Each structure stands twice: as C-alpha cells, then as structure tokens.
Structure 1
C-alpha cells in the first residue's frame, strides 16, 4: 500500500497537471472567460483532490482485503477510473450549475465533458504514476 505522503503527492500532481490542461481547453470549448473557468476548475480540483485521496485509499484497501495486494490489472484500472469519475461527477454537478448560473441539465452536459476528459486522463495518469512510483508490495513469507 502507498504511504500517506505518496498518496498526497499523487493527488496533488494529478490535479496540477490536469488543471494546466483542462482550464484553457474547456474555457475555449465552452466559450467562458478563462478567469471564470479557472475559478470553477480550481474549486473542482480542490474537491477532487480530497476525493482522490479518500477514493484511492478506499479502493486500495478493498483490493488489499479481497486480493491480498494492490496490483491493478487492466480491467481493474478501467473500473477504478470509471468509478472515480462517476462519483466525482455527482459531487461536482451542483457546483457547476451554481457557479455558471446554468440549468442542471446544461451543467450535467458540461460535467460529462469534464468527466470524459478526466476518465481518460485518470487512466493514463494513474498508470504512468504507478510506473514511475511503484506502490510498495507487501512482503510475503517464504514457503
């Protein structure tokens, strides 16, 4: 399992890199001023960072309990990314609607676009992070 400091490094680096990509891209795509979109993405990233930490901790604990390790196969990585983005979408939907003063339906469509971007980004980032910083493997007793 990862240490707390490693989980914090992972969550913060995930959000900083994601913000640097998504803020200008979605400001342009949705035709909102960069400062308006910037405040929204920073607020969303703040919520997402906390959720990232809690979700990954819970996900790894579940893997550890069920499988005895935290190694992620391709199907597990896909499920991980999908579950994280789905739960985050539900958390952020009211924030999008309120900040941009748009309907919940319009916010849902925008939020789904963000989720689609972050679904792919989360998969690629987490795989890359695990490659650069492999999680500690539990010691196994010799038989």
Structure 2
C-alpha cells in the first residue's frame, strides 16, 4: 500500500486586511466629525439659531461625540469580536447607529437646552430632527468608510484552518 502524502501544515492565520487599530479609529473619527460639524452647523442655522451659536454648539457637540465615539466603538468592537457570526449585517449596522446616536442624544439634549436657552422639550425636538439626519448619516458613513478602508478586524472572518490528513 503506498504511503499517504505528508500532511501540509496549516497556513498561519492571515492578518486583518484594510485599515486597522488606532489609526483606523483616528481617521474614522476625524472624517466623521468634520462632516458632522459642517452639517450640524447648517442644520442649526436652518432651524433659526444664530450662526455663531450654531457653530460653537456644533464644535462642542463634536467634541462630546468624539469622546463618545471612541468609547462606544471600543465597547461595540469588543462585543462584536465575541459574536459567532462575523461581518456587519444591516441589523448590526442599525443597532450600531442607534446605540451611538441614542447615547449621544442623552448628553446633547440638556446641553442644547442650556446653550440655546430653550426648554428640554424644544431641545428634544431639535435633537429629534438632528437624530433623523444623523441616524442616516451614521449608517451611510460607516458603510462608506468600511467600503473604502475595509472592515475592522472585529468584523472579519477568521482564517479557516487547513484540513489535515489523518492516518
């Protein structure tokens, strides 16, 4: 009986592809917030707030959003890495966007009420309008960012081990 061919060693797991780690987070946050500052300033002006107050509020909100973004995405990616199903489905992207925007709204509503000198109800309505915009923007930005720079390692499928021949 002929000897079976020697088993080939399993390939080493490949490194995650695309932009990864802290560099990914910094680029993500910088791009996201630059666009967000411009858009939110215009939205505040469109609903009747003064341009200067709108610009300052947008920068302050952006600073809060940066801190929240880093914190939320770190926690989300830790959770995501433990999930048996890899990748970013529509549902996972929707949950991500809603979790991020919901947490940010809880911080921004009281801040906007104080800054613009309005009641909590009016600030909530202002935030609701911004929320609709930012839910769509967050989803679209994340999708576009992942398309341009690749998925984060937490969402990439692990390299499959090679099958070995048993004797």
Q: How does 1:55-94 map to 2 (within 5 A)?
A: 55-67=72-84, 69=86, 71-94=87-110
Q: Where does the alignment leave 5 or more consecutive residues of structure 2 unmatched?
A: 1-15, 163-167
Tell me what 2:129 maps to: 113
Tell me the alpha carbon deviations over residues 11-30 of structure 1, each in whole angstroms, 9 at most, x when there is no partner. Answer: 111010122222123312x1
**Residue matched to 1:97:** 113
Task: Give secondary structure in 1 for the equivalent of 2:88.
Answer: coil
Cα distance per residue 1:47-90 (max 9 Å; x no partner)? 00111111111111101112264x21011111111111111100
Q: Partners of 2:118 and 2:38 in 1: how far apart?
A: 24
Paired residues of 2:43 and 2:130 also in contact (CA < 8 A): no
Instruction: Please identify runs of 4+ aligned residues in structure 1 that moved more than 3 A.
Output: 136-139
Say yes or no: does 1:43 pair with 2:60. yes
Please give the per-residue CA displacement for 1:5-46, whole angstroms capped at 9, x wherever unaligned: 211110111010122222123312x11111111111110011
What is the DSSP-based 3-state SS (H/G/I as helix, E as strand, rest coil) of the residue aligned with 2:80?
helix
Q: 2:146 corresponds to which residue?
A: 130
The structure richer in helix per residue is 1
Larger radius of gyration: 2
CA offset at residue 140 of structure 1? 2.4
Gaps of 5+ in 1: none
Q: Number of matched residues? A: 141
Residue 32 of structure 1 aligns to a residue in which SS?
coil
What's the TM-score once normalised by structure 2's chain length? 0.78
- Please report the RMSD computed on the Cα atoms of aligned residues, expressed in angstroms: 1.6
Structure with more contact order per residue of length (Cα contacts < 8 Å, sep ≥ 6)? 2
Which residue is 1:9 aligned to?
27
Once residues 91 and 12 of structure 1 are traced to their aligned partners in structure 2, the CA distance between those partners, rounded to angstroms, is 20
Which of 161, 164, 167 is equivalent to 1:142? 161
